[in-house]
Structure 1
Amino acid sequence: MPALTMRGVAARLGVAAMSTYRYVPSKEDLVLHMADAAFGEASYGADAPGDWRARVELGARTLWGLYRKHPWLAQTGSLTRPLPVHNLMVHGKWVLSALDAHGLGPTTLFGIHVLLYSHVQGLAVHLEREAHAQAATGQTEDEWMDGRTPVLRELVESGRFPAFAKVVGAFEHGYDLRLDALFELGLKTLLDGLTPLVEGRPAIAGCEGTRSGSRPSPGPR
């Protein structure tokens, strides 16, 4: 994304730099169009699973696949300032519709949607960052870590972090950080934890008590 400029786009198209502004007024608008096009590359068919969990898993994996295909995409919007583009809303609608029939209050329903999205997007931001770091340093992730082995060994052997030392010492060949595996682990863990809430089992402490028929929470004090 840092390499994207209106002048660079014009050069790739073989046109004058200012002529691109006839179509998009700024780089920010260009990025919105790019993001909308990328999010629109995947959709959901009529033969989708009926189970809420299977539908949510499909939505999460679809988004993860798009971020995998376009590593820059996760950098285009933050959780607090989401992109106002049609095709991202399609993915949000998919998850919300999967959860909507379970009697959840609107705050809880949307909070679950945001939480699931943050898991996918939060991991995906590291795809572009790692690619940028490799380009800037000329080192792969493993090469970068190898260069910091003395520092890590000093931390382990300092005696100040026994839990860290115990876990790291248990890895025979070091820890292989794989984002795909973390995505799957996080998705399963989130859905396991959310299942009692979504399916109306005993409430989880701290969650909003606004299921259908439940007593509304008091207003601000």
Structure 2
Amino acid sequence: MTSEATGTGQPSRTLALLWGEPAATGRRKGPARSVDVSQVVEAALLLADEQGLAAVTMRAVAERVGVSAMSVYTYVPGKPELLDLMVDATYHRMPRPTWGGRSWRDRLTLVAESNRELLTTHPWLTEVAALSRPPLGPGVMAKYEHELAAFDDTGLSDPDADAALTYLLGFVQTHCRSAHDAARITTDTAMSDAEWWAANQPLLARVLSPDAYPRALRIGAAAGEAGGSAWNADRAWRFGLARTLDGLAALIRDGG
């Protein structure tokens, strides 16, 4: 997995690009450009969605938009800045339903589910979207404003509302990263979880003694039967989201 993350580029140039300020690349002499920054970002998004984040190189993006490998740097200074633009663009496209008439728990459930949908559609986001240093572009700000509004009337203080949102999104991101890892293992091994357990069951039956591991075998077997595998993404999601909301409920009930 890549160690790349948002917020690692040159801040002034990144922010200028995110908000369409002319200081992003400075003045440029020569003929009019054949493409614009939005086309560069769109090409990078398509590459990431189709082939994964490793496929997003400045050269590959240049080829996708039809410019030279060197000229692409006149649009975006480098890959760190490009990653910020990509993340902000995906956030900008998220649906933003109205919160009126819903309970706080229903609102936060929608926040969680919309972020899960985003990370499922764009798995590469779990590798780069840093909660601690997001690109402060129009997409990030619109998302933040909308999701904070889900905490209206909960009685939480402003710092607690921010912390509660971060806590909720942290659960979503961790869950989706685990789901992606599980899917990747299945793809890489060309073997489903059921096939893996079936193939290894004879050996496991010989080495795993009920006397040595009574709880692990009993509870593990019950969990596997309930979820259809050692780890079931949907079951883990339902359980984890409910417990996350239960924790926030205690905070809200106590008045923050």
TM-score by length of 2: 0.65
Query: 1:17 Cα deviation (Å)?
Result: 1.2
For residue 177 of structure 2, the aligned residue among 125, 129, 145 is 125
- Segments of 4+ in structure 1 off by > 6 A? none
Contact 2:148 2:162 in 1 (8 A): yes
Q: Aligned pair 1:192/2:246, yes or no?
A: yes
Rounded to whole Å, the distance in 1 between the matches of 2:248 and 2:226 is 34
SS of residue paired to 1:15: coil
Rounded to whole Å, the distance in 1 between the matches of 2:191 and 2:215 is 29
Letter of the structure 1 residue corresponding to residue 76 of structure 2: V
Q: Which sections of structure 2, spanning at least 5 residues, go unmatched?
A: 1-52
* Alpha-carbon spacing, 1:120–1:172, altered in 2? closer, same or farther (3 Å): closer
Give the paired residue count.
Answer: 202
Match of 1:167 in 2: 219
Rounded to whole Å, the distance in 1 between the matches of 2:162 and 2:184 is 33
Query: 1:24 Cα deviation (Å)?
Result: 0.9
Q: Aligned pair 1:56/2:108, yes or no?
A: yes
Contact 2:227 2:235 in 1 (8 A): no
Match of 1:10 in 2: 62
Bigger shift: residues 27-36 or 46-55: 46-55
Bigger shift: residues 142-151 or 115-124: 142-151
Query: 1:161 Cα deviation (Å)?
Result: 3.3
Query: 1:194 Cα deviation (Å)?
Result: 2.1
Match of 1:216 in 2: none
Query: 1:36 Cα deviation (Å)?
Result: 1.5
Rounded to whole Å, the distance in 1 between the matches of 2:101 and 2:203 is 49
For residue 118 of structure 2, the aligned residue among 57, 66, 81 is 66
Match of 1:32 in 2: 84
Contact 1:36 1:86 in 2 (8 A): yes
1:200-215 equivalent positions in 2, closer than 5 A = 200=254, 211=256
SS of residue paired to 1:12: helix
Match of 1:181 in 2: 235
Residue by residue over 1:127-149, the C-alpha shift from the partner in whole angstroms, topping out at 9 and shown as x without a partner, is 44345545544445555555554
Q: CA RMSD in A?
A: 3.0
Query: 1:188 Cα deviation (Å)?
Result: 1.6
For residue 138 of structure 2, the aligned residue among 86, 90, 109 is 86
Q: Percent identity?
A: 30
Q: Which sections of structure 1, spanning at least 5 residues, go unmatched?
A: 202-210, 212-221
